[in-house]
Structure formats: structure tokens, C-alpha cells
Amino acid sequence: MEDERIRIVHTGDNHLDPYFPRLGAKQMERRMDFWRSFKEVVEFALRTKPHLFLVSGDLFDRVDPRNPPRAQVIKCFRAMDEKGIRSFLIGGNHDTPRSMEEGSSPLNEIDATGYSTLLWEGEAETFNVGETEICVSGISYDFTLSESDDPLSRVKIPTEGDFNVFMAHYPLRGIEHPMLRNEPRIGFDKIPDDLNYLALGHVHSSFFRRMGDSRYLACPGSTERRSFNEESDEKKGFFYLEFSGDGKLIEKRFVEVSTRPIKTLRIKARGNVDLNSEVIGRARELSNEELLLRVIVSGRVSLDTLGRYRRDEIIRELSEMFFAVQVNDEGLEYEGGEVNFSPGPDFSPLSSFREYVEEGISSCENDEEREVLRKVLEIGIKYLEEEGAW
């Protein structure tokens, strides 16, 4: 019967209250983009009244979000709780503390209200939808795991219900995700045969896969583009799913949410040109006050062209045409070799970070400190790339 269907809204990687210092005065407006997309998910749930509302990690972008976003999120979960919607959270790599010094996760506050349930280390909760017993369990992100570890090796997934759900914030082994290197991964062989729905997060592009009869796994992707690495994702949103009591998928919908448009303009310059005019002219063709634009300038130019090139002038001219503009000219060379710009506010964060840490590694006097710094370098580069650093 229609009212016996198990209805699920599955979202994740909402990254509320992100930190974008390079956007200056536009940072608050950009933060609101992330809030609006998540609010659309909540409003959909309040209209459709699913039995389950799943957040598979990284609800917040950091472990210390500001108080106003915390309060607004709690209001959302309270509103869903009042409608009888059971919501479940797991911590992702952004909103799970790495150590005791970072304190507790902001998700603990939501859990403490009773409006939602935080699943940390395989805890399970069971309840009934009609005559169907639902079992929901999950694990939050674990920073102690290494690349070779399978996160499911440390937990026995409960499957005592008629319909079983498990949540995890990890990529899958055997599937390449360019932005998620050196990560613990879930192996298909560790997924129980009687698990009906594996709700994944961490990967910012959506996917859905059937594993067999009445067995499915899915990742909704992020609800807003966290960096230009997600530019190729045509749509952002969440999954709405309906299952029969015996685990058969009846309906699957990917529901799109509103996002800010982003675009990369690549300009390859050669010889003796007026590079500022070329960049500004090409960008003007894309003029859109809502668009977040990244301009990548590369190529081999004359020394005269280089001397007349002004990055700050380009940004100033284009700022009135777009929501915000970023210029990356690391690939720009003059005909005699590579361009070495003096450090300034737009120098390459990746190369500077790498140089700084590698210098520390080379000066270490013992292997233990050297290994710690190598780990710092590995993790730092990964997170800088996630932020869109060049």
C-alpha cells in the first residue's frame, strides 16, 4: 500500500558556514548560497514528510561554525521532528574533530536537542513504519584510519531490521575519485548481503548503484559547489527514495537545488599582446553579476607583455561584471623561461605550503618528526586542493 512505503530524503556534504577569505566582502553572501541550498532540502522534507532524513557527513564545513548557523540548523531539525520526520547524522571529515584539542563536533549539539540522532561508531536505532521494522546505523569519519584501511572492518553493521540502512562518509574502493586520494575506502566485499541501503557521503558528485536484489548504495553529492573542482557537476541536489517493506526500490528522484553558477575561463597568450585587454575583453563576453568566475592565464609571452600585465587591474575591472573573480596566472611564462612573481596576496598557496613544509622536513633531526611533517604535507595539500587552491 502507498502509506506503507518507506520514504527517505538523503543529503550530505552541505558544508554550511564555509570560510572563503579570498572573497572579502562577498564571503557572507557566498556562505548564504550554502545555507539556501540546504534550506531547500529541508523545505522539501517538510512538504513530503519522509520517514527518514539522512545527512551522510559534512553538514558543517568546519568543527567551529559560527553561532547563527548552528541555531538555524537546530531550528530546521526541530521543524522536521515536529512533523514526525526521523533524522540521522554522521560526522564527515570537515565537522569531525581531529583531536581532543579541537573540542566536540557541532553535531553533538544537534544530537543533544533530541531533534536528530548522531551516529558515531556504529550505533543503531530501530523503529517501525507500519509493520516494517527499520534499522538505521552508521559511522562518522575516523582520522586514525590509513589509506589501506577499510572503515567497515572495525564495525559490525546491524541488519536485524526488515529494512536496514547504514551511513558512512567514505569513498568506495575500486572507483577513482581524483580529489580523494590517500583515503580509507569501503570495499564492496565488506557490505552485508542483507543491508538494503548504504548512504554515502564525502564524494561531491552524485551516484546511485544497485548492488543486487533489494540492495542499493548512493551518494547524493554536495548541495553547493565547494570549489572549482566541482565545476563539471551540472546539477547539485539530493535523493528522494521510496522503498517497499521488503526493500524493493519503488521510486528514485534526484532533486536539484539552486546553486551559484561558476565558470573557468582559460586564456592562452602568446608573443607580444596587450594581455590585460585580452583577458578583460574575453571575460566581458561572460558578464553575469551572479557568476563566480575563475580566469586561468597561461602561455609564453614577451618580456614587454609581462611588464605591462597587471593582475590587480584585471580583477578591479571585472569585479563589477561578476559576483567575484579569481585570477590564476601560475602558468604564465615569458619567452626566456618561467615567470617568478614576487610574493603577494595572490601567490600560490599550494606551492608556498609545500615549500615551507619540505624545508621543515629537510631540517628534521629524527625520523619521527620527519614522518609527522610528511603527514602534515599530505593532509595539507589535500585540503588546500579541496578548497580550490592552485
d(C-alpha 380, C-alpha 356), whole Å:
11
pLDDT at 215: 94
Q: Could you please report the per-residue DSSP string of 72-137?
A: HHHHHHHHHHHTT-EEEEE--TTTS-SSGGG---THHHHHHHTSSEE--EEEEEEEEETTEEEEEE
Q: What does pTM read for this prediction? A: 0.84
User: CB neighbours of 340 closer than 8 A, spacing ≥ 6?
Assistant: none
Total of domains in the chain: 3
The fraction of the chain above a pLDDT of 70, given in percent, is: 91
CA distances from 230 to 6, 12, 18, 254, 270 (A): 32, 15, 16, 17, 29
| Residue whose cell numbers read 548560497 | 33
- Are 46 and 142 found together in one domain? yes
Same structural domain, 384 and 248 = no
Burial track 361-390 (b if 16+ CB lie within 10 A, e otherwise): eeeeeeeeeeeebeeebeebbbebbbbbbb
| pLDDT confidence of residue 387 | 57
**Which residue, 207, 237, 256, sits at the end of a domain?**
256
Which of the pair, 343 or 199, is modelled with greater confidence?
Answer: 199
pLDDT over 80 at 48, yes or no:
yes
Confidence of residue 92 (pLDDT cuts 50, 70, 90): very high
How many CB atoms within 10 Å of residue 73?
A: 27
207-212 and 215-219 as β-strands: parallel, antiparallel, unpaired?
A: antiparallel
Please, which residues bridge with residue 241 across strands? 8, 252
- Is the pLDDT at 3 greater than 60? The verdict is no
Q: Of 238, 256, 274, which residue is a domain's last? A: 256
CATH number, residue 233: 3.60.21.10
d(CA 216, CA 248): 9
Task: Pick the range with the lowest mean pLDDT from 12-21, 96-105, 113-122, 380-389.
Answer: 380-389
Which pLDDT score, from 0 to 100, does residue 40 have?
98
- Is pLDDT above 60 for 388? no
pLDDT tens digits for range 164-178: 999 999 999 877 776
Domain that holds residue 366: 349-390
| pLDDT, position 302 | 86
Give yes or no: residues 335 and 300 share one domain: yes
Per-residue pLDDT, averaged over 4-17, amounts to: 96
Q: Provide, rounded to the nearest whole percent, the portion of the chain with pLDDT above 90.
A: 72
Q: What is the pLDDT of residue 386?
A: 57
Determine the Cα–Cα distance for residues 53 and 220; give it in Å rounded to an integer: 13
Q: Is the pLDDT of residue 1 over 50?
A: no
pLDDT at 212: 85
Mean pLDDT across the stretch 366-378? 73
Claim to verify: residue 185 and residue 326 sit in the same structural domain: no
Give the integer Cα–Cα distance in Å for 256 and 12: 13
Are 355 and 338 in a shared domain? no
What pLDDT was estimated at residue 369?
Answer: 73
Query: What is the residue-averaged pLDDT of the chain?
Result: 89
- Burial annotation 107-146 (CB, 10 A radius, 16+ → b, else e): beebbeeebbbbbbebebbeeebeebebbbbbbbbbeebe
Task: Identify whether residues 174 and 228 lie together within a single domain.
Answer: yes
Cell numbers standing for residue 332: 604564465
Same-domain pairing of 329 and 361:
no
Range among 44-58, 305-319, 368-382 rated most confident: 44-58
Same domain, 104 and 180: yes
Q: 279 and 248 in one domain?
A: no
Mean pLDDT of 62-83: 96
pLDDT in tens, 187-229: 999 999 999 999 999 999 999 999 988 999 999 999 999 999 9
Domain shared by 219 and 341, yes or no: no
Give backbone dihedrals phi and psi of 187, rounded to 5 degrees, phi first.
-90, 140
232 shares its domain with 380: no
| Per-residue cell: 11 | 543529503
pLDDT-derived band of residue 25, with 50, 70 and 90 as boundaries?
Answer: confident
Beta bridge partners of 98: none
Looking at residue 248, its pLDDT comes to: 93
Same domain as 66, residue 85: yes
Residue ending a domain, among 233, 256, 279, is: 256
Residue 378 pLDDT exceeds 70:
yes
What is the rounded CA–CA span in Å between residue 57 and residue 89? 7
Q: Distances from the Cα of 116 to the Cαs of 80, 128, 169, 201, in angstroms? A: 9, 17, 18, 18
**Is pLDDT larger for residue 43 or for residue 360?**
43
Q: Which residue has the higher pLDDT, 356 or 73?
A: 73
